[in-house]
Amino acid sequence: MRFRFILIGLAAGIGVVMFIGASASLHDVGFPLDDSWIHQTYARNLAEEGEWAFIPGEPSVASTSPLFTVVLSLGYVLHIPFFVWTFIVGFLALSVAGWIALALGEKMFPKLPFVGLFTGLAVVTSWHLVWAATSGMETMLFSTLSLAVIGLTWREISAQKTATRGEFRRGLSTGLVGAALTLTRPEGAGLVALAGLFVVAAQPYGSWRTEWKRYLAWGGGLALGWMAGIAPYAAMNYHISETFLPNTSAAKQAEYANLLELPLLERYGRMFLPLVIGGQLLMVPGVIVAFVILVKRIKRNRVALLYLLPAAWIFLDVSAYALRLPTAYQHGRYVMPVVPHIFLYGVGGTIAIVDRARFGPVQRVASRSLGLASALIMPAFLIMGAQVYARDVRIINTEMVTTAKWVRDHLPPNELLAVHDIGAVGYYAPRSILDLAGLVSPEVVPIIRDHEAIMEFMCTKKAQYLMVLPDQLPAISNDPRLGDLLFITNARYAKEAGAGNMAVYRLNCP
């Protein structure tokens, strides 16, 4: 067992180092998203100023992941270079996800050889998840905690065999981890609710009519642990903004509201497509076989229904984004956390195909070819993923970070700057800003798609400067309120990717 844990941890470390090394060799170390710098800014202000604020002295709730912010702030408290600490956190989250997946794979398919090891290795060598671990975002931590909630819920499967008590205690610990999941991303509450529903449906203690006290004890512990865990942040959030969710929830939905006009099936396709770009594509037959195996098991023993909890979570999480925020940019980062759950079925089912076909020559060759191809394609996509990651980091460094440093060096810090991508500016050039994406300026959300209203709003607030990409510019070229172009990056990398360059304008408001 120790060797398998070491092997999974080593594979996770190699992937993380590969991605960081690729970005350093291509351009420089960094993050592939401007949002990563939002987390760093909140974490630094929390550690150094004791404030939950993006702009020092102005409390706000634009952090999408309060738990991740707190974890990052520990690095500043310990005076560890922030890149080093952030990548350590990502590596640990990836490794733990692999270890949990190992245990869950063995629990789901106990008779299949090496199923736990291969499931864990699939998780830590998935390019999606290594990208998440090195992104400076909460994505990998959310993935790991979602696996932990699944694993804690599956403890109730054993309760059927042993008839042990302690349901309240087990429910409480599951609820507390579920609270941590929710504090990492709000949609984690959906998995906690699903866990409760599946335990009731699977009836691990017997009929709920006769064993209702045990179900009540587990469910009560789950609810109490979850509410106790999220209560402090919910209270702080409501005190600051009179809402229980971060501003990002409403702001992102408003910004991409036009995508809701797409047909529902197309929205689902947009969310699922990024998830199959990788080794998991060859595991589709395995996923089907895994479901066939589990359905047969459920017919024999109803408690096996709990093994479908990850599948229900995949559907719920993807549906939430397809229905409310169907944007698949940045490699589908919003739905990346379901990738480990796909591997729980894909790896086990693929091994089952290979194992069951070993007696026939044709079936043996075909099944082993499928298994070998699935194993070989993972490192191939990992190498390609490292190149993609390096290019992502280079664009952020040469557009957002470069412009933020120019703002720091050339613009007076006491003059109001309107900006759409606030992350790097908040970190490198802290000052009062007008956030055109609505994260720390929620009053922008109702008018976020009305360019004329945005221009009037900036002038009303007496903004002196505007920092935007071309497609974020809320003014036509001859608008008299849009003054001189003061700075533009002119970096070729964003243009090669089909985007434009970040620019800073002087505003001439009447």
Burial-class residue 451 by CB neighbours within 10 Å (0-12, 13-18, 19+): middle
Nearest CA to 458 out of 500, 415, 501, 429 is that of: 415
Q: Is 463 helix (H, G, I), strand (E, B) or coil?
A: coil
C-alpha distances (whole Å) from 28 to each of 113, 330, 396 are 42, 19, 11
Confidence (pLDDT) at 69: 95
Taking the C-alpha atoms of residue 96 and residue 171, their distance in angstroms, rounded to an integer, is: 22
pLDDT of residue 362: 47
Angstrom CA distances, 280 to 94, 125, 142, 287, 370, stand at 17, 11, 20, 9, 12
Indicate the helix (H) or strand (E) that contains 272.
helix 264-272
- DSSP H or E segment with residue 478: none
3-state secondary structure of 430: coil
For 332, the token pair is 């589908």
Residue 1: strand, helix, or coil: coil
At residue 325, φ and ψ (nearest 5 deg) are -150, 70
Q: Which residues 6+ apart lie within 8 Å of 479 measured at CB? A: 455
Q: How far apart are CA 489 and CA 372, in angstroms?
A: 46
CA distance 397 to 402: 6
The DSSP result for 50-91, as a single string, is ---EEETTEE----S-HHHHHHHHHHHHTT--HHHHHHHHHH
Based on C-alpha coordinates, what's the Rg of the chain?
A: 24
pLDDT along the chain (510 residues), means of 10: 92 98 96 96 95 87 88 98 98 98 97 94 96 97 98 89 76 97 95 97 88 92 96 80 66 75 90 84 89 95 96 96 85 93 94 72 55 74 95 97 97 94 95 90 87 91 94 81 93 89 92
Pairing relationship of beta strands 433-435 and 417-419 according to DSSP bridges? parallel
pLDDT of residue 283: 86
The Cα 162–Cα 182 span in angstroms is 31
Rounded to 5°, angle at Cα 150 from 313 and 229: 95
Q: 335-392 pLDDT, tens per residue?
A: 999 999 999 999 999 899 887 755 555 455 555 565 566 667 888 899 999 999 999 9
Single-letter amino acid, residue 344: L
The torsion angles phi and psi of 482, rounded to 5 degrees, stand at: -90, 110
Distance CA 113, CA 383 (A): 28
Contact 230, 183 (CB under 8 A): yes
d(CA 342, CA 337): 10
pLDDT at 424: 97
- One-letter amino acid of 485: L
DSSP 243: S
> CA 174 to CA 154: how far, in whole Å?
10
